[in-house]
Structure 1
Amino acid sequence: MSPHRFRQYRAFDVIMQTGSVTRAAEAMHISQPAVSKLLQSLEDDLRIRLFDRSRRRLVPTAEAARLHREVEQLLLSANRVDRIASQIQGASGGEFRISALPMLGARFLPEAISQFCEQQTALRVSLEVDVSRQVRAQVLSGQADIGFAHLSSGEEHLVRQPMAFIPGVAILPHGHRLAALPTVSPGDFEGESFISLGRENRLRDLVDGLFEAHEVTRDTTVETNLFESACALVGSGLGVSVVDLISALSVKDHVVVRPLYPTVEFAVEIVRPISSAPSALVDSFINLVHERLEIYLRSTLVRPGDL
């Protein structure tokens, strides 16, 4: 497509949105005759009458409405290409884009990013926190250089690197009867008011499976799709729950955290575009994350060797 044709389509789109050549000229910051010329040349080139001018105002024809739907998609795609080009340009100049699931994106990764930025000069970092499905989509589309997501079964277009198995722990309101125990077991939850993950969260199956295996009946009081929300609800005294260790530690001042044995483990992996070139910057950050996670787990109530 020639630059002139693109300007024609741009003028046509603005006219369709504003309803007049005058307002289109104002929006495009060019003269009214220039907009009229672009519109007239587009109609001549396409041999399509786009507007009815018999009533002293522009009335779009049926053909214009049909063409405009396609032009809108064209311009949206062009804008998306511009954004991606800017992101690529930023990355080559020292920008690092990270996408992560809430388990890591709420507290753990911000702390790691802070340390990483102290070691790097002129580095710009963006952190997007979303569900694992969207994390993978952002990495696949080039909107993120690296992603942290729950382990999934097979994604052929991503480089997948196991990161860790985060243990589940029990979280309890202060003063709860189970808070007096050094370690809790699934059987201790019998009959307890329980804050559960939403049914759409596939990790709920792991927790439910643990209690079903031990024939434990809980009274599910509230369902929520985020571990962080479950922690907050437990802190309010509404019930007890089982969440990942990292999320629990982010609210340990508001709840009682106890090791759970036997427990479940939440598998987390690192994903990168399969077409991405090797990056010393990304590799350095991954190494830092691994180091911090090992220290993080070893310094907590639950140690990997105890599970």
Structure 2
Amino acid sequence: MQHRQLEAFHAVMISGSTVRAAELMNVTQPAVSRLIAELEKEVRFALFDRVRGRLVPTQEGQLFFREVAQSFKGLDRLRAAAANIRDFGTGTLRIASLAAAGAALVPAAVRGFRAAHPDVRITLHITWSTAIRNGVADGQYDIGIAADEIDRVGVDSQLFCNYPGLIAMPPDHPLVRHDTITPKLLEGCPLIGLAPEDRARQRFDAALSEAGVTPHYVVDTPSAATVCALAVSGDAVGLVNPLVIEQFRREDVVLRPFLPRVMFRAYLLFPPNAQKSRLALDFTAHLMALRNAGAHRPG
């Protein structure tokens, strides 16, 4: 069974005739008929019935076409990959990040990386930490930045950052007069909470519980940036990851340290049992440089 025979069969099935198939393949119509006949001899069943000069697929031919069509989809993916390699010969880099790091830190790293690698094609997805972990494990992403609630079994990981959370509030909130926010100050205060499965949210709730404070949540959201945005426009306050504060103007939101400290941890994730590409290593270096410079670290 030769690829040219399968190509002729595929062309006839999608075009409806040997004449059109010949045009698609840039060959003669008799050549297409010959290839179909050879394929039928190979598979040992009829692919088409000849009805009034037309080819009508047999039931066996339709079943066989389903398999052939799947193989051609695979070939199409290979052609697309080859085109990407040809058009972006220095490579591609697929990055996934949690929203907090994707707000300012990762875009800054992308800018620095592109200055050094202008021909590299970059894909950046901002998504859930669990989706990032699964995508890295499956080889969909070269680098992931995820919060610490993920299961790190099945991926290579390293701690990327570990920052104490801040309480975000509007400028006219009564808590603004305090230099630090303690659990007792939040007694009865409307709160904007991160998703209950968020590890930082759980550590925050534990700190409140230990101080005998019952949290009064009015809104839950998985995004620290949304916590900030809601705090700006209402009477509630919320614990936020310091990575998001770069996108907010200082006059719009007031940030105060929370004591006892509640840490936001993020991990760099890499596909398991695979040597990191040069591009992945270079991008990681840009991320580390920004982290070490403290440009996105709370003041």
Alignment TM class, shorter chain as reference? 0.7 to 0.9
TM-score, length-scaled by structure 1: 0.75
| Alpha-carbon shift at residue 48 of structure 1 (Å) | 4.1
| Alpha-carbon shift at residue 184 of structure 1 (Å) | 0.8
- The answer to whether structure 1 residue 290 and structure 2 residue 288 are counterparts is yes
Which among 199, 208, 211 is matched to residue 208 of structure 2?
Answer: 211
Q: Give the Cα–Cα distance (whole angstroms) in 2 for the partners of residues 263 and 26 of structure 1.
A: 72
Residues 286-295 or 28-37, more deviating: 28-37
Residue 188 (structure 2) aligns with: 191
User: Which letter does structure 1 place at the counterpart of 2:131?
Assistant: Q
Residue 228 (structure 2) aligns with: 231
Residue 128 (structure 1) aligns with: 124
Distance 1:59 1:3, change over 3 A: closer
Q: Secondary structure at the residue paired with 1:263?
A: coil
| Alpha-carbon shift at residue 101 of structure 1 (Å) | 1.9
Gaps of 5+ in 2: none
| Alpha-carbon shift at residue 87 of structure 1 (Å) | 5.4
Distance 1:282 1:5, change over 3 A: same
| Alpha-carbon shift at residue 217 of structure 1 (Å) | 2.2
Residue 177 (structure 2) aligns with: 180
Which deviations, in whole Å up to 9, do the C-alpha atoms of 1:182-216 show, x marking residues without a partner? 11123322222222233465654344334333332
Distance 1:123 1:175, change over 3 A: same
User: Which letter does structure 2 place at the counterpart of 1:131?
Assistant: W
Residue 11 (structure 2) aligns with: 11
Distance 1:8 1:138, change over 3 A: farther
Q: Give the Cα–Cα distance (whole angstroms) in 2 for the partners of residues 103 and 35 of structure 1.
A: 57
Q: Give the Cα–Cα distance (whole angstroms) in 1 for the partners of residues 207 and 143 of structure 2.
A: 32
Distance 1:46 1:111, change over 3 A: same
Which deviations, in whole Å up to 9, do the C-alpha atoms of 1:63-102 show, x marking residues without a partner? 4554454444433333344445555667761544332222
Q: Secondary structure at the residue paired with 1:136?
A: helix
Residue 166 (structure 2) aligns with: 169
Distance 1:260 1:203, change over 3 A: closer
Distance 1:147 1:38, change over 3 A: farther
Residue 108 (structure 2) aligns with: 111
Q: Give the Cα–Cα distance (whole angstroms) in 2 for the partners of residues 160 and 229 of structure 1.
A: 27
Distance 1:57 1:92, change over 3 A: closer
Distance 1:115 1:30, change over 3 A: same
- The answer to whether structure 1 residue 149 and structure 2 residue 146 are counterparts is yes
Q: Is the 8 A contact 1:227 1:244 kept in 2?
A: yes
> Which structure exhibits the higher relative contact order, with contacts defined as CA atoms closer than 8 Å and separated by 6 or more residues?
2
| Alpha-carbon shift at residue 165 of structure 1 (Å) | 1.0
Identity, in percent, stands at 29
Gaps of 5+ in 1: 302-307
Distance 1:183 1:143, change over 3 A: same
Distance 1:41 1:26, change over 3 A: closer
Residues 55-64 or 219-228, more deviating: 55-64
Q: Give the Cα–Cα distance (whole angstroms) in 1 for the partners of residues 202 and 65 of structure 2.
A: 47
Matched length: 295
Q: Is the 8 A contact 2:181 2:259 kept in 1?
A: yes
Q: Secondary structure at the residue paired with 2:185?
A: helix
Residue 247 (structure 1) aligns with: 244
Which among 97, 101, 105 is matched to residue 98 of structure 2?
Answer: 101
Residues 172-181 or 133-142, more deviating: 133-142
Distance 1:289 1:31, change over 3 A: same
| Alpha-carbon shift at residue 108 of structure 1 (Å) | 0.8
| Alpha-carbon shift at residue 53 of structure 1 (Å) | 6.2
Report which of the two structures shows the higher radius of gyration computed on alpha carbons.
Answer: 2
Q: Secondary structure at the residue paired with 2:265?
A: strand
